[in-house]
Amino acid sequence: DIKGFIFDLDGVITLTSKYHGQAWHQLADELGVTWTKALADGLKGISRMDSLEMILKAGNKENDYTEEEKIRFAAKKNDNYLTLIGKMTDEDILPGIPAFLKDLAAHNYKICLASASKNSPIILEKLDLVKYFPIVVDPSKLKKGKPDPEIYVRGAELLHLKPEECIGIEDAAAGIQAINGAGETSIGIGDATELSAADIRFARTTDMTLVNIEAAMKINA
Ligand code: G16
Ligand code: MG
């Protein structure tokens, strides 16, 4: 039986994914790396330093900079990102998410956050969602980022649940791979081709309701 839900943040609860993309795009331009949709999609859910490595690799520049320079690039991207998210409010929560969270709480499901973002506590505050997420996986304590399952394994542990009792929710292929690897049920929000590995997929957040999830789980069973 499903007893808990483990949420990704960027792209599931709010579209910070758009701002991450903009900030990386600007850095890629400065580094002379061509920005493509494939690169943008591949970066979703990937940690800050791993994202920078992917961008440098895309431009065959992975050996061009020192560790110090790379840390400076990542810090610059983050400053830019923090400016972009500066004006976010609870109106930036994706449609259907507040009702879904309320429904989960009313049915006593356990909830936690499994975002790769070190900025997620700030964003939860801006969105006024801290009350739903007293439990947040700390990404700085993990050995490996998504697509490694570690973050979703840790999420289930923090909820005191077995992986098979948890549903993970993601907008990125790397995240779905992490949920599946953890032995949890995966829900993908977004594009069918990008999220073909998800156990259940919804085109948009408003389709994600307990009724629709229960129906999809019956079909899959
Ligand atoms: C998010 C984003 C990624 C971002 C990562 C790290 O993951 O999707 O694009 O690179 O967090 O974020 P930060 O630089 O803020 O620490 P998720 O897991 O919330 O989708
Ligand atoms: Mg995401």
Q: What mean pLDDT is reported for the chain?
A: 96
State the DSSP string of 101-149. HHHHHHTT-EEEE--S-TTHHHHHHHTT-GGG-S-B--GGG-SS-TTST
How far from chain centre, in Å, is Cα 213? 19
The answer to whether residue 220 scores a pLDDT higher than 90 is no
% of residues, the chain, pLDDT over 70: 100
pLDDT in tens, 103-145: 999 999 999 999 999 999 999 999 999 999 999 999 999 999 9
The protein residue with its alpha carbon nearest to ligand 1, atom 7, reads 45
The protein residue with its alpha carbon nearest to ligand 1, atom 11, reads 117
Tokens of 195: 């999220």
118 is in an annotated binding site: yes
Ligand 1 atom nearest to CA at 51: 10
Protein residues with CB under 6 Å of any ligand 1 atom = 8-11, 17, 20, 43-48, 51, 78, 115-119, 172
The protein residue with its alpha carbon nearest to ligand 1, atom 8, reads 45
- Cite the active site residues: 8, 10
47 is in an annotated binding site: yes
State the distance from the centre of ligand 2 to the C-alpha of 172, rounded, in angstroms.
5
**Residue 69 CB-half CA count within 13 A:** 10
Q: What's the pLDDT score for residue 219?
A: 83
